Amino acid sequence: MNRRRASAVFAIFVGLLMLGMWSTLILTNQVPYLDTPQMEIKLHILTEMLTAVMLIIGGVSVLRNYEKLINLHYVSQGMLIYSIINSSGYYIDLGELIMVVMFGGLLIGTVISLMFFKDLA
């Protein structure tokens, strides 16, 4: 598997995991404050879902060699980096170190994915 393809597969995999995680959490009523008028969690979920969809579209555009959409791969990975940093802050505030470490690993994986895509690694 060439490096660009590996980067695309990583993006699609993470996007599918994000969709699956949020869908499961919502369907099993495990999202705090979802039933309140507060918009913060709703907007957070919306941005996470948009990030997931963009990761999938960006990854597929790389696999299918859709040159007009290939920049979506960069955009989606940038969205993922923002999401990782934002979510890490939430778990730092809660004192949940294991989640922060997990997000750190995901951040490293995302940077490597971008390096693979640009063939810098």
| pLDDT at residue 35 is higher than 90 | no
pLDDT mean over 24-35 = 91
53-74 pLDDT, tens digit per residue, is: 999 999 999 999 998 898 999 9
| pLDDT at residue 121 is higher than 70 | no
Residue 1 pLDDT grade (very low, low, confident, very high; cuts 50, 70, 90): low
Q: Where are the domains of the chain?
A: 3-30+45-118
What's the maximum distance between 2 C-alpha atoms anywhere in the chain?
47
Per-residue pLDDT at 27: 95
Per-residue pLDDT at 119: 76
